Amino acid sequence: MILLEVHNRIIEELLTLQIEGFLRKEKLVDLKTDVVDFDGALYHVTSSRDKPFIVSIKLKFFRDLEQYGTDEVLRREYGDILVAPLEGYNVTLSLDFNTQLPKGDSNDAWLPLVRKIAMLKRNCFAAVFEKYFDYQAKQESTSISHKRAVIHYRDDETMYVDASSDRVIVIFSTVFKDPDDNIIGRVFMEEFKERRRQFQQAPQVIVSYRTPPEELKDMHDARIGDNIGYLTFVLFPRHTKAAARDNTINLIHTLRNYFHYHIKCCKAYLHAHMRHKTNEFLKRLQLARPEVKKSFRRGPNAAGDAPAAIRTLPNDTTTNLLSTTNTTVNGNNTRTVIAIKNRLDQGKEILHDAFANMDRGTLLRATIVLAGITCLILIYIGMKTFFLRKKRQPKRYTLITDPTAMEEPLFGAHDDDDDEIEDDTLFVRK
């Protein structure tokens, strides 16, 4: 368990750095900042080279504290460094390093003053506890009537303080805004109650849920609800005597913050523990997962099956790609070559898109098919070129003047025709 610091660490460190720089005769840093603390407390800090170090605090519930002697306690603790509050703030302290800083050879001379300034919020709270501690001490010998102190230290939470001849009762009402906080908070409240049995010197703890405890039965404005809890501490004279009251005030005024802080820490621990267990479970599942063996096939499944690469292509794409093998060369051979080249370029683009998501075996089979098609195209082009060259070889012609003397078939302007041949027609023979 972590005990929260009673003082404000930021205020203490800022003031310490400024004093150390002043003692070393260094140029002081200009400061102007706001610091937020528990219970909605707001600090305003200003400091410069030629002006004193000023700390102001604003508390929403300061008016509730004033009626129990807060001004007297602050004047007793801070003396002449307590000045008129700045506009919008409740208390202001001003420390001049030249005149008000305690003299001494070591830091121990001024460190207690720094700590006291950092405990400004605590000292504002202290007035109500000291007042009722004194009531309890006086009622041991005389009967003094007084009212119960009601401090609305938060918008929806309240602290009640009352005293009798042998005890001081401090009751905190708290609201659990989250269902998880409600469950964990009840566990903590029961733990406070159980632990007290092990330590006889500890205050008595009384826990109540949904409804106020018996001590608040006359308080009609006490809140009631499923997410409301009341934590009651009974302080005996051994806790309120002069030697122990400062420590009691330090602990009791931070109880609500201590309580909810550890609820958040508990939730964070549970979440981290669950994430750790989940990661271990996933690792076990990965170890238990069977390995999938990848099979590599060198060819199609059956004689009539097309290769996987071709099966993935659209029908019109396959038809266009394979139709290049059936191209008929009519006329100029160059035109045919250009058409085939265009077909190949289109095929490359289509196959590039189709092969993007293929595995290694399918890609290999598709490459083999493409290479075969390319070879067929090249063979076809070579054969066509060969026959064209042979057809263009020079031919021998013989002039025949007497058609009746021919012994071989004729060809010419009327090849394979049975029409009559005119007299002036020129006949040639290979």
| 338 Cβ contact partners less than 8 Å away, ≥ 6 residues apart | none
| Alpha carbons 180 and 173: distance in angstroms, whole number | 18
Q: Is residue 354 part of a domain?
A: yes
Name the DSSP letter for residue 199: -
Q: Phi/psi at 36 (nearest 5 deg)?
A: -105, 140
> Residue 86: is its pLDDT beyond 60?
yes
Q: Is position 365 within any domain?
A: yes
Residue 255: Cβ-neighbour burial (10 angstroms; 0-12, 13-18, 19+)? middle
Q: Which helix (H) or strand (E) holds 386?
A: helix 360-391
Kindly report the CATH number assigned to the domain that includes residue 254: 3.30.1460.20
What is the SS3 assignment for 223?
coil
SS3 category, 99:
coil
CA distance 358 to 145: 91
Residues 53 and 165 in one domain: yes
- Residue 396 has a pLDDT of 53
Residue 281 falls inside a structural domain: no
Max Cα–Cα distance, the chain, nearest Å: 168
**DSSP sequence for 297-362:** -SS-SSTTPPPHHHHTS-HHHHHHHHGGGG----S-HHHHHHHHHHHHHHHHHHHHHHHTT--HHH
Q: Is 399 found in the same domain as 376?
A: no
- 222 with 349, same domain: the answer is no
Q: Could you tell me which residue, 215 or 399, shows the higher pLDDT?
A: 215
Which of 240, 268, 296 terminates a domain? The answer is: 268
* β partners of residue 360: none
pLDDT in tens, 313-346: 445 544 554 444 444 444 445 666 677 777 777 7
Question: Within this chain, do residues 415 and 336 fall inside the same structural domain, yes or no?
Answer: no
Residue 299 lies in a domain: no
Please tell me the distance from the alpha carbon of residue 170 to that of residue 149, in angstroms, as a whole number.
9
Indicate whether 288 belongs to any domain: no
Question: Mind listing the pLDDT tens digit for each residue in 244-260?
Answer: 999 999 999 998 998 88
What is the percent of the chain with per-residue pLDDT over 90, rounded to a whole number? 35
**Domain, as residue range, for 375:** 308-391
Residue 413 in this model has a pLDDT that exceeds 60: no
67-84 pLDDT, tens digit per residue, is: 999 999 999 999 999 999
Which pLDDT score is estimated for 376?
84
169 and 42 in a single domain? The answer is yes
Q: Are residues 249 and 354 in the same domain?
A: no
Digit-coded pLDDT (tens) for 119-150: 999 999 999 999 999 988 887 655 566 789 99
What pLDDT was estimated at residue 132? 93
Q: Tokens 């060819």 sit at which residue?
A: 299
The count of structural domains within the chain is: 3
Residue 279 falls inside a structural domain: no
Q: Which of 346, 347, 363, 348 is nearest to 309 (CA)?
A: 363
Note whether 137 and 255 are same-domain residues. yes
Same domain, 46 and 187: yes
